[in-house]
Structure 1
């Protein structure tokens, strides 16, 4: 474990409080894109503004936030490329899930920027999750111990993504996948630095906790009718707790993409210009 930085002679309650506050600040910073994006979700009226439909306004807000973060150097171009990948992956899933033969959920409002029935802003909801993991990795100085072989992690992530599609036709294997993931990451721990010392927690616990917060955000979003599940068309009801498991699996997939991209980048030598 890395030695603590000098000058922070803290102990007991004072240390716990300072580390908790520092962790909260860094988490908030890591959630900057997600926080601003969902603030826009809550702020934009359902009927739109100045004749512009709500979904179109949300797309403009997401693009503006992303551009501002890159301009302010709060996000690197490499991070933007990775986040764009999450946008594409998420949008493809949205198109499938909202298609006529599936109809897992729907976007009921009109928008000029709908493609195949899906508003383009929807991909940014997945990009927000990717942005959080990428930012937290850097800001909290994340390191993973006992990470499984990258090809195994990549294969499991691919199976998780495939199951989001195939479970409509050949059965839902999420719990089998969850058991496989539990075995694969059983020894893995994530080390992070809230303040001046490294702390550690099981990586599996991190997946579940992040999935919980995304599930809570989903409940808020459906309450504001950003999208609706079939059982919410008449009146809003809480998103089924089973979606928590889906989001946790999606977090595993997102984390794996980030980890593999970092692994690939570290193994490729790019000569200086």
Structure 2
């Protein structure tokens, strides 16, 4: 998504142009998310042609994913990473919706439910990975001062484990957030919205992506795709505390993406 840059672009005019292309590239990076949410709103809750809503959403998600690979918007290696996000997310969904936890629920019937969780739900986690992969390509991303990979992997594993263990031994989210803060304190993401490199603390990117996922979660619960216990009688905003959970999940997702071979070439790890 490159366009000729007007001569003499400076000051407010440059800011407007760069901000516009920053938005366009982010929108393009959200291709999977956008198409999937379009399917959510278009599909009636009662389903279509005798096919339940959740099953139709699974068909839509698979069709979008196949199309992205077929058109080479995503490579086979990237698909493997996205599939890992699907598995990791689905396992978390099964645990969170289990009878002993009941953090949220999928109330509607579907043929493609396993352990009470519709199979399409894993694609919602995979969509986060898809966004990061697409943004990496479109913004020509580079990472400076990335922590050592084993340390980043350890924090990512602990973040994921905490989503399960906090129901039994306490929520250590903020301790893990402090670890991530120290680990990525010097890490900078270099991106190109137009023709010049810009920089942003990677931690800020984690927080911003987490915020937009929280907004998407509000949209999904409003549409009745799933519901938290306090939303069963009438819809209410998803608790803002979920923002931190999503930001932590983004840290974990980024760690997986950063291990893709073609992406590692653009990551600087200090010796």
Q: TM-score range by the shorter chain?
A: over 0.9
TM-score normalised per structure 2: 0.94
Asked whether 1:185 is paired with 2:207, we answer no
For 1:174, the equivalent position in structure 2 comes to 173
**CA drift at 1:109:** 0.2
Pairing 1:1-273 to 2, within 5 Å after superposition:
8-262=7-261
**CA drift at 1:25:** 1.2
Worse-superposed segment, 241-250 or 67-76: 67-76
Give the Cα separation in 2 of the matches to 1:12 and 1:101.
57
**CA drift at 1:23:** 1.1
Q: Does the 8 Å contact 2:144/2:190 carry over to 1? A: yes
Give the Cα separation in 2 of the matches to 1:40 and 1:136.
22
State the SS of the aligned residue for 1:260: coil
The 1:181–1:37 alpha-carbon spacing in structure 2 relative to 1, beyond 3 Å, is same
Give the Cα separation in 2 of the matches to 1:23 and 1:77.
27
**CA drift at 1:89:** 0.6
Q: Does the 8 Å contact 2:141/2:190 carry over to 1? A: yes
Structure 1 regions of 5+ residues with no counterpart?
Answer: 267-273
**CA drift at 1:263:** 7.4
Root-mean-square deviation over aligned CA pairs: 1.6
Give the Cα separation in 2 of the matches to 1:210 and 1:10.
29
**CA drift at 1:7:** 7.0
Residue-by-residue CA offset, 1:145-170 (whole Å, 9 max, x unaligned)? 11111110100000000000000000
Residue-by-residue CA offset, 1:237-256 (whole Å, 9 max, x unaligned)? 11000000000000000001
TM-score normalised per structure 1: 0.93
Total equivalences in the alignment: 263
Give the Cα separation in 1 of the matches to 2:216 and 2:261.
27
For 2:269, the equivalent position in structure 1 comes to none
Give the Cα separation in 1 of the matches to 2:158 and 2:40.
31
